[in-house]
Every structure is written in structure tokens, then in C-alpha cells.
Amino acid sequence: MSNPSESDARLLERIGAGRVAARERRARRRNFATAFLFMAPALVLVCGMLLYPVAFNVWMSFTDWRKFKGLDTFVGLRNYERLFGQIYFAEAAFNTMIWVVASLVFPVLLGLGIAILLRGVRFETTFKNLIFLPRVLAPTAVGVIWFYVYAPAGLLNYLLSLLTGEPVSIGWLYQANTVTPAIIATHVWQTVGIVMVLLLLGLSAVPRDPVEAAQMDGAKPWQTYFHVILPILTPTLVVVAIISVLAGFTAFDLLWVMGAGYPGQRTLSLVVFMYFEAFQKGGWAFGGAVAVVIGVLVLLVTWVQALLQARAERMVR
Amino acid sequence: MQATIDRHDYDAIARAEAARRKGGWIVLGVAILVSLVWLAPFYYLLVSVFKSSTEYASGSPLALPQGFSPIVDNAIRVWTDAKFGWGLANSAIYGLIGASVAVFIAAMAAFGLTRLDFSGRTFWFMLIFSGTVFPFQMYLIPLFFTYQQFGILNTRFGMILFYCAICVPFPVLVLRNFMAGLNREMDEAARMDGASDWRVFFSIVLPNARGPMLALFLLQFTWIWNDLLFSTVLGNTPEIRSVMNALQVFQGAYTSAGPNIALTGALMASIPTVLLFLFLRRHFMAGLSVSA
């Protein structure tokens, strides 16, 4: 026979524990109600203004929606089929790929090069601020400035004619083979500063000991960079690379301002193509399909980023 | 022992210094060259805004201006032809209201997500944060259509509403991380004294989150000020346009007016955020490091 007082105590304890659990559950529910009130404005704005449009966009890309008609006619994948038969789409997609690769390679390489170059040089801060300066301007203002730098009678042609001794008047922004590189160069000019600052932040986090140990062992500067600093910098580089790729995918302002005079403006990138199809030609559903393609590509990049970041973090550990 | 370590370190430092001094002049030269290339467009901008249209057309793009007075005429032309006054006022309103409301709403949400215990917090956070995942292009057509239906297309209310929404998710991420690190004992103490949740939020958590909130406000204000895309789609009339949209429209429509005038517009549109950046660089850099 068990001790009655002991089982009583246990029973009481259990009742007590149950009461505490119930109280906690009640408190959590009350907490949720309060927390929900605190989150409500954010939830309303995000769901109503951001998530609902995305859902709407995906759904209507399967309809025949054009100006004033067809939001209720489903056509399945026809918009997407039409897309891949379009020569303008192919050209826009190709140019977007150039943008993505160029805005990954050039800002990161130049940013890394300048970051390494400027470390420890005299007037380091002044140089850094100068390189960062374009970033402070709005892309639209930058586009206006460079529109005239590239103009037939603009700064670039003037400098070229000084160099060659002959008058140069190339319409950089009006020719199919120069317009994209020209705008990308402007983009690089503006973004190298931020890439450099982020990389310098990463470099300043590199611990002194392994670097000095390598130098003690007689490592050449480039060996130190490649085998000691670069691996530690990898997580920062991943972040910077992803930011650069996404910026390349979704670039609009510069293209819109600087490409305004280019005859084939819609082919400059997928984003500009989408704007043309939807807002200038009224093909809502077709433009929506382009937006979905851009969205899928961006999600893909974000997913790759998550994978790379996880791996980079494991590498550091 | 101590002394040998010290001398050892000094040797290393001295050797590094000597190596740097040897290559120093070349590096300095390269750095100056790069900076000159980087500065050339700024120089071009600054000399052009002080030229009249005839002066700009007749001289070299790099020539120094003959005087300072033409900038007044240029500015007046931008002001009247591009309705730049509207643009500047609109952008200021959109930026001030949009960024401050969004950061405040984000702070409320972050408080709910971190300072109150309930299950499913990760879900609610992900729901809000998913607003940053999709590219802007996916919002454009549905918003345009919905705005048209509700009659808020090309209105200031519509523009502010959208800017408030787009500026919420990212600050929620930052402030959630920040508030999660704040000591919760203060909250409990205040609750013991009978303070309501709202009171705890307002008098304890908000004052402590001032630093990151200011940095976030600056980031979001600059983003709204610089935005071209959404003003082009959702608010494209002369009275509603943001300053960047006004600049773009002006540059497109008045290319014959002369680069000096459009460049003056670009300078005028840039001055507010450039000044903000120069005076509050510390806070911008704080915002930069939290966003990285």
C-alpha cells in the first residue's frame, strides 16, 4: 500500500501543474491577441499592398486580360508560350543576362581591387569617400548626368577626340551594340562604392593573427590575400554578390532614363520589356507573365543565396 | 620575456611600414588616377550648371563657366517647366510620412513579435518579411488596376499608402533582431507596476530603439526620395509626381532645352539626400551595417 499522504501530494502537484499549464495557455492566448493588435497594421499593409498584388499577378498571367477585357477568360499557359516565341523577349532576356553577369563581375572585382588598393594608403578615408560619392546620388539623377556624358556632343566623345586628335561623335546610347555596355558602365560607377565599403567592413573583421603569422612565415602579399584573407572574406563576398545580381536583375531607373532615346528601348531588359507590354501596349496579362518570369528568377537567386550562405557559414566554422 | 615580444612586434610593424612606403607612391598614384575618373562626371555636372545654354553649346564640356549667374536662370526654367516645386514638395511629403509611419508600424510589429510570448511567432514574422522576397515588378500591374478601381490612382494618398507598405518588411527584420536583444526585465518590472502593453511599448521599448529606428528612417526616406518606378506607374500627373519622376519627364520632354538645364534639375533633385547623407553619415553607416 502506498503512502496515502504521498499520493495525495502527487495528485495535488498534478492538479497544480495542470492549473499552471492552463494559466499559461490562457496567458499565451491573451498575449497572442495583444501581439496581433501590435502586428495588425503591418499585416494589413503587407498582405493588402504586397502579397495580394503578387497573388493577383500570378493568377491573371493565366488569363487573357487586356485593356478593358478578358480578366475572366482563362487561357492557361498561352501568355508564356507567346513569350518564348517573341524576338523582343529573347533580346530583352539576353540583355538581362548580360546585366546580371556584368553587375556581378565588375562591381565585385573593382570593389575588391579598390578596397585592397586603398587599405593603408595615405588619405585612405578621402579616397574611400570619393569612390562612395556616386552612391549618394539617386539613380535617376545619375542617369541624367551620364545621358549627357554619352551624348554625341558629350563629355566622353570630347575626351576621345582629345585623345585621338580627330572629332568623335558616337551616339553611345542610340546604337544596339553600345547602349547596354554604356549603361552598365554607369551602373558600375555608381555601385562600386557600396561594394567597396561592404568589403572593407568584411576586411576589417579579418583577425590580425593569421595575417601576421602568414607574413612572419614569409608569405608574399598576394599569397596572404589568396590563402588567408579571401577565405575569411567569403561570407561577405557571397552577400555582396547576391546584392549585385539582384540589382542587375531588377535595374530600372538608369535604363528608363538613359535608354529613353534608344529606338529599341523595350529590349533593354526584361523589366523595361514588361513595362512596355503592360503600360504602353495595354497587354496586362502578357506583362504579368513577364513579371512572373522575373519573380521566378529572383526567387531562384534568393534560394541559391540561402544555400551559399549556409555553406559559407559552415566553412568559417 | 615581455620586452622581447614587444621588440618582436615593433620589428614586424617597421618591416611592414617600410614595405608599404616603398610601394606607397605607386599605389598613391593609382588611387589618384581612379579617383579622377570617378570624379570626372561630378566636375562635368558642377561646371555645366553654371553655364547658359549658348555658353554650354559653344565651349568644351570641361571648360570652366564664365560666371555663376546662369544657374539662377537654369533653376527657374526647371522650376517652371518641370513643375519642380511640386516634385520637391511631393517627395518630401512622401518620404517624411511614408518612412516615419512605416518605421513606427514596423516597431509595433517587432514589439509584438519579440516582447510577448505566443506560439507561431516565426510564422507571423515570415508572413510580414515575405514582403521583401518578390521583385517590385510583380506589384505594378495589380496595384495600377486596383488603384484605378478605388479611385486612388494619381493621388497623394495612394502614393503614401504604397510607400508605407513597401517600407515595412525590412525594418521589421532589423527591429525584431534589435528588440530581441533588449533586456526583458525592464518590461516585467513595468508590468509589475501596472503598466499596460501599450505603455511598455511606448515608454520602455521605443526609447531604447531610437538609434536603429533613426537609421532605418533615413534609409527608407532616401529610398522613397529616389524612387522612380512607382511614381511612374501610380502617380504620374504633374501635381502628384515625385521629384525623380518630374526630373525624368523633364529630361525626356525638354532634351532640346540644353543639358545645362536638365543637369541643374538633377543637381536640385539630389541636394536634399546628399545633405542628409553628409550630415548624418554616421547613422547611414549604422543602417548600412544592419542591412548587411
- DSSP β-bridge partners for residue A63: A74
Q: Are the C-beta atoms of A255 and A271 separated by less than 8 Å?
A: yes
> Contacts of residue A127 in chain B, CB cutoff 8 Å?
31, 34-35
pLDDT, position B2: 40
Long-range own/partner contacts, residues A107-110 (CB < 8 A, 24 or more apart): A107/A188, A107/A191, A107/A192, A107/A195, A107/A240, A107/A244, A108/A195, A108/A237, A108/A240, A108/A241, A108/A244, A110/A188, A110/A192, A110/A195
B3 or A13: which carries more pLDDT confidence?
A13
Instruction: Give the angle subtended at the CA of A33 by the CAs of A27 and A36, to the nearest 5°.
Output: 135
How many alpha carbons fall within 13 Å on the CB side of residue B161? Answer: 19
Q: How far does B163 lie from chain A, in Å, by closest CA?
A: 10
Question: What average pLDDT does range B18-35 have in this prediction?
Answer: 77
Report percent pLDDT > 90 for chain A. Answer: 48
pLDDT, position B5: 45
Residue type, A53: P
A39 or B282: which carries more pLDDT confidence?
A39
pLDDT tens, B184-202? 888 889 988 988 999 999 9
A121 or B40: which carries more pLDDT confidence?
B40
> Contacts of residue B270 in chain A, CB cutoff 8 Å?
136-138, 141
Q: What H or E segment, with its residue span, contains residue A317?
A: none
Q: Which of A31-40, A197-206, B204-213 has the lowest mean pLDDT?
A: A197-206
pLDDT, position A148: 93
pLDDT tens, A266-277? 899 999 999 999
Q: At what angle do helices B2-48 and A155-164 cross, to 10 degrees?
A: 100
Q: Which of A158-167, A194-203, B132-141, B170-179 has the lowest mean pLDDT?
A: A194-203
Length of chain A, please? 317
Q: Which of A54, A117, A138 sits opposite B139 (nearest CB)?
A: A54
pLDDT bucket at B163, cuts 50 / 70 / 90: very high
Q: Does A233 touch chain B (CB under 8 A)?
A: no
Cβ <8 Å between A155 and B44: yes
The grid coordinates of residue B133 equal 522576397
Q: Which of B61, B112, B140 sits opposite A154 (nearest CB)?
A: B61
> Contacts of residue A37 in chain B, CB cutoff 8 Å?
112
Length of chain B, please? 292
CA distance A119 to A202: 12
Residue A8: Cβ-neighbour burial (10 angstroms; 0-12, 13-18, 19+) = exposed
Report the chain A residue with the minimal C-alpha distance to residue B197: A34
Q: Which of A42, A114, A249 sits opposite B172 (nearest CB)?
A: A42
pLDDT, position B1: 37
pLDDT bucket at A24, cuts 50 / 70 / 90: confident
Q: Which of A50, A145, A148 sits opposite B131 (nearest CB)?
A: A50
Q: Does A74 touch chain B (CB under 8 A)?
A: no
pLDDT, position B164: 97
pLDDT, position B23: 64
Question: What average pLDDT does range B202-206 have in this prediction?
Answer: 92
Interface pTM (ipTM) of the complex? 0.87
Q: Does A73 touch chain B (CB under 8 A)?
A: no
Q: How far does A141 lie from chain B, in Å, by closest CA?
A: 5
Report the chain B residue with the minimal C-alpha distance to residue A246: B135
Report the chain A residue with the minimal C-alpha distance to residue B58: A153
Question: What average pLDDT does range B105-128 have in this prediction?
Answer: 93
pLDDT tens, B217-249? 999 999 999 999 999 999 999 999 999 999 999
Q: Are the C-beta atoms of B103 and B217 separated by less than 8 Å?
A: yes
Q: At what angle do helices B2-48 and A208-216 cross, to 10 degrees?
A: 110
pLDDT, position A110: 93
Q: Are the C-beta atoms of B267 and B45 separated by less than 8 Å?
A: yes
pLDDT, position B155: 96
SS (H, E, C) B120-169: CHHHHHHHHHHHHCCCCHHHHHHHHHHHHHHCCCCCHHHHHHHHHHHCCH
pLDDT, position B99: 97
Q: Are the C-beta atoms of A128 and A118 separated by less than 8 Å?
A: yes
CA distance A210 to A202: 15
* C-alpha dihedral sign at A246, A250, A253, A256: positive
Cβ <8 Å between A35 and B166: no
Residue A173: Cβ-neighbour burial (10 angstroms; 0-12, 13-18, 19+) = buried
Q: Which residue do the cell numbers 519627364 mark?
A: B249
Whether B10 shows a pLDDT value over 80: the answer reads: no
Whether A203 shows a pLDDT value over 50: the answer reads: yes
